[in-house]
């Protein structure tokens, strides 16, 4: 298993924890200099906050706490491809790389609720420099969504 796969596997665990906490299945983490600096779970339901996505929480934290150099060199890992709102925050924060488990389009096929605009497209249209990689764990990430939303 590669380091990217290990980190995405952890985000899938965080997504499972989010469900246990009464939320929808999304998790993310931020790696700086090879070290996991922060993890986040979706809390949109328990916080009654539509913006409480883990990727947005991490982008906000990173923008406040990391230097420009750290931001450019860090990687955000997400269980599911970040939505356009979160991707815009990733771009504005200056996070350099994103790796995700399952594509938003695949989730959209299951739920009909995701906005199926690829993160790479949002970054490209923003003239951003972040690299976006994925999906790298479709089956494992979708299993959590299928259990929550129904297959």
Average pLDDT estimate for 73-81:
98
Distance from C-alpha of 62 to C-alpha of 58, rounded to nearest angstrom: 6
Q: How far apart are CA 128 and CA 119, in angstroms?
A: 11
Contacts of 138 (CB under 8 A, 6+ apart): 101, 102, 103, 106
What DSSP element (H or E) covers 88?
A: helix 84-93
Q: Collapsing DSSP states into helix, strand and coil, what is residue 103?
A: coil
Question: 65 an active-site residue?
Answer: no
**Active-site position among 6, 16, 20, 55:** 55
Q: Kindly tell me if the per-residue pLDDT of 135 is higher than 80.
A: yes
pTM above 0.95, yes or no: yes
Q: Rounded distance, CA 20 to CA 28, Å?
A: 16
In whole angstroms, give the CA distance from residue 136 to residue 92. Answer: 24
Domain tally for the chain?
Answer: 1
Identify the pLDDT of residue 131: 98
- What confidence score (pLDDT) does residue 8 get? 99
Give the Cα separation of 85 and 89 in Å (integer): 6
Instruction: Give the per-residue pLDDT at 96.
Output: 98
pLDDT band at 113 (very low <50, low <70, confident <90, very high): confident
Q: Tell me the mean pLDDT in the region 2-7.
A: 98
pLDDT at 101 over 80: yes
102 CB contacts (<8 Å, ≥6 apart)? 79, 80, 81, 134, 135, 137, 138, 141, 142, 145
The average pLDDT across 103-114 equals 92
Range of the domain at 134: 3-149
Predicted local confidence at residue 114, as pLDDT: 81
93 in Cβ contact with 71 (< 8 Å)? yes
* CATH number of the CATH domain containing 7: 3.40.140.10
């Amino acid at each position: 298993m590669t380091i990217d796969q290990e980190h995405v596997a952890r985000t899938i665990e965080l997504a499972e924890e989010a469900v246990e906490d009464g939320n929808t299945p999304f998790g993310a983490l931020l790696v700086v200099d090879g070290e996991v600096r922060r993890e986040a779970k979706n809390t949109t339901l328990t916080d009654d906050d539509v913006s409480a996505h883990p990727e947005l929480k991490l982008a906000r934290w990173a923008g406040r706490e990391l230097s420009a150099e750290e931001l450019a060199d860090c990687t955000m890992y997400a269980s599911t491809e970040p939505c356009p709102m979160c991707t815009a925050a990733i771009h504005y924060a200056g996070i350099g790389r994103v790796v995700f488990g399952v594509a938003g389009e695949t989730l959209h096929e299951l739920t009909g609720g995701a906005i199926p605009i690829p993160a790479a497209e949002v970054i490209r249209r923003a003239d951003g420099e972040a690299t976006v990689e994925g999906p790298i764990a479709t089956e494992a990430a979708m299993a959590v969504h299928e259990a929550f939303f129904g297959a």
